[in-house]
Amino acid sequence: DGSALLLATKEWLTPAGSLIWHKGITPDVVVPLPPDMRPLYPSAEEEMTPTTLRSSHDVQILRALDQLSHGASRWMTPPS
């Protein structure tokens, strides 16, 4: 429907309280971009559908989609 949510925060912190604004963090899953590959940019992605994103060959986007669709379940499964 085109709706969106913009959430502004005063500080960008890790769960432990470390400031990450303008510093960044090391990702849990590192996916190097091949030297001959140009990454997708948000302006290009705005017009893309899930099907075109999957066919983009952007290994970082594809791995992120895989993590979101399959890998996230391990974080959401309650401990036994």
Q: Can you say whether residue 28 is alpha, beta or left, with left for phi > 0 and alpha for psi between -120 and 50 degrees?
A: alpha
Task: Please count the structural domains in the chain.
Answer: 1
* Whole-structure pTM value: 0.54
Residue 23 lies in a domain: no
Residue 8 lies in a domain: no
The percentage of the chain sitting over the pLDDT mark of 70, rounded to a whole number, equals: 78
Residues spanned by the domain of 35? 28-80
Residue 17 lies in a domain: no
Residue 14 lies in a domain: no
Reported as a single tens digit per residue, the pLDDT across 14-33 is 888 888 888 888 888 899 98
Residue 78 lies in a domain: yes
Reported as a single tens digit per residue, the pLDDT across 25-78 is 888 889 998 899 887 776 766 778 878 887 888 888 888 888 888 765 655 555
Residue 46 lies in a domain: yes
Residue 2 lies in a domain: no
Q: Are 70 and 62 in contact (CB under 8 A)?
A: no
Residue 65 lies in a domain: yes
